[in-house]
Amino acid sequence: AQSVAQPEDQVNVAEGNPLTVKCTYSVSGNPYLFWYVQYPNRGLQFLLKYITGDNLVKGSYGFEAEFNKSQTSFHLKKPSALVSDSALYFCAVRDPTTSGTYKYIFGTGTRLKVLA
Amino acid sequence: DTGVSQDPRHKITKRGQNVTFRCDPISEHNRLYWYRQTLGQGPEFLTYFQNEAQLEKSRLLSDRFSAERPKGSFSTLEIQRTEQGDSAMYLCASSLAGTGVTGELFFGEGSRLTVL
């Protein structure tokens, strides 16, 4: 069964510092991996995805993520955090090799707080 | 606005009443998903449709829950005999499916249910 884990409930970082939000996954095949951001009382917004190819993928708002197959991880990163990046971040996985399912499994979320 | 829209945004009901939520996906999207999100948690998969066919349902979806997508466009999620444990945000998402399409999800703003 596919699953995704976000080991940190909250990450605090000073504005201007680099940030990392961690995600690990478990699927039977090669995963499709996604990051979403959620602001208060809003729906989830797509940030970036990894499907195949280059392990470093770039997305919206200066975010990037690195796929590491040996560590089954897909950590979200940004070189310089902004206060406006403070939000709830979700990692999601889909296993395209599991026949008959197109469902996406989400992690429990990590709250990012960027301190001025 | 060409995004995913959900209605109503907030519903307050008494225990035992029935409620129905509507989702209008992005018009060219053929897959539609329902998720449930409680405070501090990630979205939990409920069900999804490809066109009008309901292809998968979570075990979370008890027989009090029913979802339809009668013409492959909008969808409804009905909860009968609501319980306080049904209080949550109900998220709808849509995606484009097809050969070569990786199909990230686009979410609506959600419908918040409060059962008194």
* pLDDT tens-digit series, residues A8-53: 999 999 999 999 999 999 987 888 999 999 998 788 999 999 988 8
Calpha distance B94→B107 (Å, rounded): 7
Cα torsion A21, B91, B69, A103 to 10°: value is: 20
What's the confidence (pLDDT) of residue A48?
95
B22 pLDDT above the threshold of 90 = yes
Q: Is the dihedral of CA B2, B52, A4, B99 positive or negative?
A: negative
What's the confidence (pLDDT) of residue B100?
62
What is the pLDDT confidence band of residue B1, given thresholds at 50, 70 and 90?
low
In Å, how far is B53's CA from the nearest CA of chain A? Answer: 13
Count helices and strands in chain B by DSSP H and E runs: 0, 11
Which of A51, A94, A43, A50 lies closest to A75, judged by CA? A50
What's the confidence (pLDDT) of residue B15?
97
Provide the number of CB pairs (under 8 Å) joining chain A to chain B: 59
What's the confidence (pLDDT) of residue A36?
97
Residue A53 contacts by C-beta under 8 Å, 6 or more apart in sequence? none
What's the confidence (pLDDT) of residue A43?
85
What SS3 class is residue B65? strand
What is the pLDDT confidence band of residue A64, given thresholds at 50, 70 and 90?
very high
Test the A interface: residue of B38, B54, B104, B109 with most A CBs within 10 Å: B104
Asked if the Cβ–Cβ distance from A109 to B102 is below 8 Å, we say no
* pLDDT tens-digit series, residues B35-85: 999 988 899 999 999 999 998 888 878 899 999 999 889 999 999 999 999
A100 pLDDT above the threshold of 70 = no
Asked if the Cβ–Cβ distance from B104 to A44 is below 8 Å, we say no
**Residues of chain A with pLDDT > 70: what percent?**
95
Residue B60 · residue B36 · CB < 8 Å: yes
